[in-house]
Structure 1
Amino acid sequence: MELPRSRRSSHSPVRGMTECGPPYTSAVNEKKSSFKTPLLLSFVIIFVVVASWLSYDIFVSFVSDTQLAQSAVVLVGVDANISSASRIAAGGDVLPGKTSTEAGKIEDRTLGGLLPDLAEFEPGVCASRSQQPHRKNYFQPSKELIRRLRRYEVRHRKCAGRARNFFHPQSQSEKDDCRYVVWIAFSGLGNRLMTLMGAFLYALLTDRTLLVDGTKDMSELFCEPIPKSSWLLPPEFTEEWLKTVNESSPQRFAHNSTDGGGSSVTADFSYIHFTYTFDHKDETFFCDESQDQLESVPWVFMKSDNYLVPGYYFVSRFNSDLGALFPDRGLMFHLLGNYLFHPSDAAWAWITRFYRSYLSNQDRLLGIQIRTFRPGPLPSFSEQLQQCILNNSILPKVVADGHSELKQQISGLRELKNGTTVLMTSLESYYYDNLREYYLSRPTESGESVAIHQPSHEGKQRTDNIGHDIKAWAEIYLLSLSDSLITSGWSTFGYAAQALAGVRPWILLKSEDDQVPDPPCVRAKSVEPCYHQFPIGNFKCPSKDAAHDRNSFAYLQPCEDVFFGAKLVQ
């Protein structure tokens, strides 16, 4: 119902009666007409005015109620180039202005069965879950993944509460069948998302329960993903105790054994070490024999700054499971990441405020993630970004500098076409300023608008600062709402955004000499993150005559940005 139209129509019956009424010829008829017509007109006018007021009140009430109920933001789409997996309609509240057809698509809050039913969680806890999701499309999980997740949730509820037994020796009769993998927080937020998802997948593959190191403000960043349970380590696992689990620990897997090789598996626990100080002995974790040894270990602790998931394909026993769980190997992080990572209320408030203020009224959302790994702004990187954008027609070009073109564009400003909203994330404001100036200085050739927004510019990364980490997580999530993405090579921050979104980004290649690379950017082969330090034939498993090699697997290919790394593709 359109309010202005209702008000205008209140006078149309009057015009119809005076202009189109029947002719009156007799004096009597004219007298009757003079009496009846004003009275009838009065009733009609009163009726129409009241109806208009009522329709206005109903309209305002509807909009107000919808806006009050609506705390999620407008959804944006995913990359149409990923066509090998089916997509499902997302769940979420319906926004004012959405048509019934659009609203009808917004039904499935479980993302095709990926998530538990919302009724299983405590009501009123975790707004991002109840308002889930933002994105127009997700990719359909396999039936086997859905089944395995439901089975995992049952096991998690059973075993998570028994984790305190680690510090309390049990008799043989008291021991149960619960086994655990403990993720120890390490490095920045992007790395944490990569490694936490990898630890969860390892728990799925080995029938273990994932427990998360909560000493790094994890509860202030994420909601609990498992209904009626917690994924956080019990408080008995103090930060001081966890610090003792490191590369020098006697429990470090494949080290400190009496025969100079093999494993140091103990009755208590084993520690898997994959931070930057790992070596070739640590890589034997990907051998079948190593997994046989770990089978009997109740507690496995993991610390890493690498996305280990591609290495799981080296383990023969994991291959059939991985194929059944993920028919499209290029969507592993997309599916498990959307299962695990739900913004906390503090992060969600930040996300929704920014989205509503700057990103909600857009036809297309382009996310640009800038990370140079060097202090201060780099003019060459700004030029590289612009070349990537214009060479690949990601954004429209501006008109050539000339009076006639400017005059023509200015005269048509009132008819400016809807265009693209750009969300830029960077520690610096320099790249935002340059791109914004480019589109403010002259109009675009197509007449489309380009609006550019940057949520923050922190100057430097401040890992473990909760305020900084909330902004970082909010920006990763906002980027993951994009229709298309440009990310920086080597950046796990960008990897997380592209994988959650299910969007194959354009990757800005890293320059070693401050020169713009040729080409300045390349299109990613899949949305999966890169395993930066992937084993390349440097370790051998006892039962293998030859070293493991990524070339043995067609679905493991060199990363676009890290030639010695590997990533999963379909």
Structure 2
Amino acid sequence: MHKPSPYLVAKLRKHEALQKRCGPGTAPYAKALRQLESGGSAAAADDDCRYLVSISYNRGLGNRILAIASAFLYAVLTERALLIEQYHGDVAALFCEPFPETTWLFPDGRRFPLRILRDLDGKSKESLGNLLKNTSSSSSWSDRPPPYVYLNLEGGADFHDKLFYCDEQQRLLRGAPWLLMKTDCYLAPGLFLAPSLQGELHRMFPEKNAVFHHLGRYLFHPANAVWHNITAYHREHLAGAGKLVGIQLRVYRGETAQVSQVVLDQALSCARREKLLPAAGTNTTNATLSLSEQTTVLVTSLNPWYYERIRDELGGGVHQPSQERWQRSEDTAHDMKALSEMYLLSTCDVLLTSGMSTFGYVAQGLAGQAPWLMPRRPPWEAPATEVPDPPCVRAASPEPCFHSPSSYNCAARRNYDDIGKAAPFVRRCEDASWWIKLVDGSSQW
């Protein structure tokens, strides 16, 4: 559906060569480690390798995937080798190595001079935000940049942290040999709003609604065990269906009960309203339909209750790969099942997803199709007691939402009047008006 631009393909080939030249085990990597250990503050020479370390931490798999994709995009834009600091060995267990003849995995052990990467946060003195607050140190960067800078781009990042998206700060960061990034967000919309990065981004991605689609399909090739689970389940339960509908239901712990009649009714109301599913009982009562004429439904939810009710409603042709009941962010086996289900959802002809869910974002992005999105109330509000009207809306694009954008217009040195209209390719998200996403065409609703 979405074809990568020749320029993007060329950039990826160039970046593969950079990863091979600069990756762990090479002479440039050893040199960069020595310089970091010495604590010297000298700008990297033009022929030196520069690095971006993506720090994984205690977040769901959807957030971690979006974080890695964001780090990779920034590494390509700034010509830095990307290294992934794993969270409990998850990346190696979930994904194949994306770069030929090298690794993107941050080496384990004690050789790296900075041994507390996961402890870095917005209070760390090495963060960009705190360095900028110390005007005397930031003003001297152009001559003697720090040996490393921590980029605190989590959801709780403050005003100074988010100056990362300004051209002035991007110029300062160029000389730092090491950047350490921690985020749980999809940063691409913010990068697209930085004027110094826009030219390259527009050439790489003529289709603004397919940025994650191309990044995800390049980076995230499931490891053999995960791929086996995906193909075996698809072959046994989903292959050959005339229409494949994916329903992703996410209910957050503490927000409402794990079993919610309102959530179920909202999904079924949307499906009926938009004619996504056959009439109740049709799949089993109409014996004249062949498999290729029937609708098959894939339900992904932590709780089997939703699957059982949808199956009872339709009379058959409904499948749920796993029933984990609770999200387990430190359980690799759990994440392997989650990744399998993201990919299975991405094979569906139609998607119906829960608002604010990064799990759903990844599935729709890999599929390259805009889902029907079920809005939900913000976590700080009381759970809904009735189905909203309308129960769902069609997303403007398959792109994930950026959950923590900067409202500051760097060029104008004031806040945007409306960040949803900051550029023709940016729009406010359907599931939360304070988030933004990439779209094709006008930014007008």
**Where on the TM-score scale, by shorter chain, does this alignment land: which range?**
0.7 to 0.9
Aligned residue type for 1:250: K
Say yes or no: does 1:390 pair with 2:266: no
- Contact 1:364–1:483 (Cα < 8 Å) also in 2: yes
Q: Distance in 2 between matches of 1:153 and 1:399?
A: 52
Alignment partner for residue 146 of structure 1, among 9, 18, 23?
Answer: 9
Aligned residue type for 1:564: W
Pair 335,381 (structure 1): closer, same or farther in 2 beyond 3 Å: same
| Aligned-pair CA distance for 1:247 | 2.3
Structure 2 residue aligned with 1:201: 73
Aligned residue type for 1:354: Y
| Aligned-pair CA distance for 1:245 | 2.6
Q: Distance in 2 between matches of 1:215 and 1:534?
A: 25
- Contact 2:252–2:258 (Cα < 8 Å) also in 1: no
Say yes or no: does 1:502 pair with 2:376: no
Structure 2 residue aligned with 1:413: 287
Say yes or no: does 1:255 pair with 2:255: no
List aligned pairs for 1:10-159, cutoff 5 A: 87=1, 139-159=2-22
Kindly provide the CA deviation profile for residues 78-98 of structure 1, in whole angstroms up to 9, marking residues without a partner as x: xxxxxxxxx4xxxxxxxxxxx
Alignment partner for residue 395 of structure 2, among 524, 528, 545?
Answer: 524
Structure 1 residue aligned with 2:258: 376
Say yes or no: does 1:425 pair with 2:300: yes
Kindly provide the CA deviation profile for residues 343-395 of structure 1, in whole angstroms up to 9, marking residues without a partner as x: 01121122122112211232221111110214420011101111000010001
Structure 1 residue aligned with 2:380: none
| Aligned-pair CA distance for 1:267 | 2.3
Say yes or no: does 1:460 pair with 2:326: yes
- Contact 2:56–2:118 (Cα < 8 Å) also in 1: no
| Aligned-pair CA distance for 1:566 | 0.6
Q: Distance in 2 between matches of 1:477 and 1:415?
A: 28
Q: Distance in 2 between matches of 1:193 and 1:399?
A: 38
- Contact 1:251–1:264 (Cα < 8 Å) also in 2: no
Pair 174,144 (structure 1): closer, same or farther in 2 beyond 3 Å: closer
- Contact 1:255–1:261 (Cα < 8 Å) also in 2: no
Tell me the TM-score normalised to structure 2 length: 0.87
Structure 2 residue aligned with 1:481: 347
Q: Distance in 2 between matches of 1:174 and 1:476?
A: 40
| Aligned-pair CA distance for 1:237 | 4.3
| Aligned-pair CA distance for 1:306 | 1.2
Q: Distance in 1 between matches of 2:423 and 2:215?
A: 22
332-341 or 242-251, which moves further after superposition? 242-251
Say yes or no: does 1:291 pair with 2:163: no
Relative contact order higher in (CA < 8 Å, ≥ 6 apart): 2
Pair 263,461 (structure 1): closer, same or farther in 2 beyond 3 Å: farther
Q: Distance in 1 between matches of 2:188 and 2:241?
A: 36
Kindly provide the CA deviation profile for residues 218-256 of structure 1, in whole angstroms up to 9, marking residues without a partner as x: 100000001111111122349952223322322100215
Aligned residue type for 1:451: G
Say yes or no: does 1:563 pair with 2:425: no
Aligned residue type for 1:190: G
- Contact 1:255–1:264 (Cα < 8 Å) also in 2: no
Structure 2 residue aligned with 1:280: 159
Pair 261,427 (structure 1): closer, same or farther in 2 beyond 3 Å: farther
Q: Distance in 2 between matches of 1:414 and 1:553?
A: 52
Pair 258,239 (structure 1): closer, same or farther in 2 beyond 3 Å: closer
5+ residue gaps, structure 1? 1-86, 88-138, 401-405, 441-449
Structure 2 residue aligned with 1:192: 64
| Aligned-pair CA distance for 1:286 | 0.6
- Contact 2:51–2:177 (Cα < 8 Å) also in 1: yes
Pair 308,399 (structure 1): closer, same or farther in 2 beyond 3 Å: closer
| Aligned-pair CA distance for 1:324 | 0.5
Structure 2 residue aligned with 1:439: 314
- Contact 1:255–1:262 (Cα < 8 Å) also in 2: no
Partner-residue secondary structure (3-state), 2:160: helix
Pair 396,178 (structure 1): closer, same or farther in 2 beyond 3 Å: same
- Contact 2:352–2:373 (Cα < 8 Å) also in 1: yes
Q: Distance in 1 between matches of 2:116 and 2:370?
A: 41
Structure 2 residue aligned with 1:334: 213
Pair 540,174 (structure 1): closer, same or farther in 2 beyond 3 Å: closer
Q: Distance in 1 between matches of 2:166 and 2:250?
A: 35
Kindly provide the CA deviation profile for residues 145-189 of structure 1, in whole angstroms up to 9, marking residues without a partner as x: 011111111111000134344442379899751111111113110
Aligned length: 413
Q: Distance in 1 between matches of 2:235 and 2:437?
A: 35
| Aligned-pair CA distance for 1:261 | 9.3
Tell me the TM-score normalised to structure 1 length: 0.68
Kindly provide the CA deviation profile for residues 108-143 of structure 1, in whole angstroms up to 9, marking residues without a partner as x: xxxxxxxxxxxxxxxxxxxxxxxxxxxxxxx21111
Identity among equivalent positions (%) equals 37
Say yes or no: does 1:490 pair with 2:372: no
Partner-residue secondary structure (3-state), 1:320: helix
Partner-residue secondary structure (3-state), 1:563: coil
Structure 2 residue aligned with 1:533: 404
Q: Distance in 2 between matches of 1:377 and 1:173?
A: 55
Aligned residue type for 1:529: P
Q: Distance in 2 between matches of 1:264 and 1:477?
A: 47
Say yes or no: does 1:349 pair with 2:222: no
Structure 2 residue aligned with 1:105: none
Kindly provide the CA deviation profile for residues 502-534 of structure 1, in whole angstroms up to 9, marking residues without a partner as x: 111000110442321110000010000011222
List aligned pairs for 1:158-197, cutoff 5 A: 158-161=21-24, 162-169=28-35, 176-186=47-57, 187-197=59-69
Aligned residue type for 1:157: K
- Contact 1:365–1:483 (Cα < 8 Å) also in 2: yes
Pair 522,159 (structure 1): closer, same or farther in 2 beyond 3 Å: same
Alignment partner for residue 93 of structure 2, among 220, 240, 252?
Answer: 220
